[in-house]
Amino acid sequence: MSARPVVLLTGASGVVGQSLLREVGEVELLAATRGPVEPGRAARVVRCDVSLPLLGLEPPAYRALAAEVDVVVHSAGLTEWGRPDEEYVPVNIEGTRRVAEFAELAGAPVHFMSTAFVAALLPGAGGTLSETNVTAPYVRSKLLAERVLADSGVPHTVFRPTNLIGDSLTGWTSRGQIVQLISDWICRGRAPFIPVHEGNRIDVVPQDLLSKAVLRAIEGGVTSGEFWVTYGPEAMDMAQSLRICAEHAAARGRRLAPVPVIDPDDERARDLSGLPQLTRTYLSVLRDVSEVTRAGGGVLPTSMPELRDSFGVPKIADTDAYLRTLRFASGR
């Protein structure tokens, strides 16, 4: 590998890809995408569709790319929750198989973006997911993708981030996600209650912490390991996160009345009839995320101490980063 490794980044137009493109330093990054992408600090944009044979490239272009690439960051994925299992197969599972084949030809290690929610499905998980859990097909597909990579024999790492929020210092994100949407709804006083299992941590991580960890891993030549990009026992609890929402609302001249926190299995939390559609949707997403977190142990596994020690990931309080994310989202 050259002093400045050439890194192929799949999913360059996504939230993680865009964050990586802002953080990139000592590597030459090729931004792989199907459609338009904000190139940021990318050396070049490469058209790639991981659901197609040879990533959608002509054989000579595929071979030339493999000859050029030293490292692959595989971040492309179908990330929307609530689709049936089979819809995740072409991109999340078969796409990962194609990326592994490409990496083998290139002789390149893969850094794979999985999800911390796989903790709910690993042996020893603390509970089961209900048939209707909106995240389950997505999470299953990510775990299967991890297995595809393991079976491929290609050297690889697995990064397992929890739900990501904006940049740790500015709150910036290329696109608002479920955490921002639901937080905004709570801050506007729209949540009649919050369904969360007792003892669950509200584990969200600034996106640049993931990007920094991945880039340091590449620069350090790391080619194996599983890294839980979570706060684990340091993560805020529901009361802390609601206090931050109240602080954010107050700064905008709104008083957020105390929101009851209810066990998702409680009768009151199960009957959503009569509530507006958006309220029903958000409450049921919160309930399902709580179920995944509880099945993952309530407090997600974490590699944060190792990421700080070995990869120089900065020590940022999640509560501060969450408040910055709320401010950034409000300013949009």
Ligand X SMILES: NC(=O)c1ccc[n+]([C@@H]2O[C@H](COP(=O)([O-])OP(=O)(O)OC[C@H]3O[C@@H](n4cnc5c(N)ncnc54)[C@H](OP(=O)(O)O)[C@@H]3O)[C@@H](O)[C@H]2O)c1
Q: What is the b/e burial string over 172-203, where b = at least 16 CB atoms within 10 angstroms of the residue's CB?
A: bbbebbbbbebbbbbbeeebeebbbbeebbbb
* Segment interacting with ligand X, rule: CB under 6 A, options 70-78, 258-266, 286-294, 297-305: 70-78
Q: C-beta of 112: minimal distance to ligand X in Å?
A: 8
- The Cβ of residue 324 has, within 10 Å, a number of other Cβ atoms equal to 21
Between 77 and 195, whose beta carbon lies closer to ligand X?
77
Residue 264 Rama label (left phi>0; alpha psi -120 to 50; beta): alpha
Pairwise CA distance, residues 324 & 169, whole Å: 7
Measured distance CA(167)–CA(148) in Å, rounded:
31
Among 51, 170, 281, 310, binds ligand X (CB under 6 A): 51
**Is 33 a binder of ligand X (CB under 6 A)?**
yes
Phi, psi angles (nearest 5°) of residue 206: -60, 135
Is 15 a residue that touches ligand X (CB under 6 A)? yes
Three-state DSSP class for 290?
helix
Binding pattern to ligand X, positions 91-120, x when CB under 6 A? x---x-----------------x-x-----
- Total residues at interface with ligand X (CB under 6 A): 29
Only segment of 72-80, 102-110, 241-249, 295-303 that touches ligand X (CB under 6 A): 72-80
Give yes or no for a contact between 81 and 71, defined as CB atoms under 8 angstroms apart.
no
**Residue 327 touching ligand X (CB under 6 A):** no
| Contact pick of 79, 168, 183, 303 for ligand X (by CB under 6 A) | 79
Residues paired with 6 in a beta bridge: 28
- Residue 157 binding ligand X, by CB under 6 A: no
Min dist. Cβ of residue 254 to ligand X (A) = 27
DSSP code for 202: B
Burial of 278 (0-12, 13-18, 19+ CB in 10 A): exposed
Among 5, 11, 166, 297, binds ligand X (CB under 6 A): 11
Burial of 67 (0-12, 13-18, 19+ CB in 10 A): exposed
Please tell me whether residue 288 binds ligand X under the rule CB under 6 A. no
Residue 195 tokens read as 């369904």
Interface residue with ligand X among 164, 187, 249, 256 (CB under 6 A) is 164
Shortest Cβ 268–ligand X spacing (Å): 29
The reply to whether 75 sits near ligand X by the rule CB under 6 A is yes
Site for ligand X in 119-148 (CB under 6 A): 142
13 binds ligand X (CB under 6 A): yes
Beta strands in 75-140 (DSSP E): 110-113
For position 325 contacting ligand X by CB under 6 A, the verdict is: no
| Distance between CA atoms of residues 297 and 310, nearest Å | 25
Residue nearest to ligand X (CB): 14
Binding site for ligand X (CB under 6 A): 10-17, 33-35, 48-51, 75-79, 91, 95, 113, 115, 142, 161, 163-164, 177
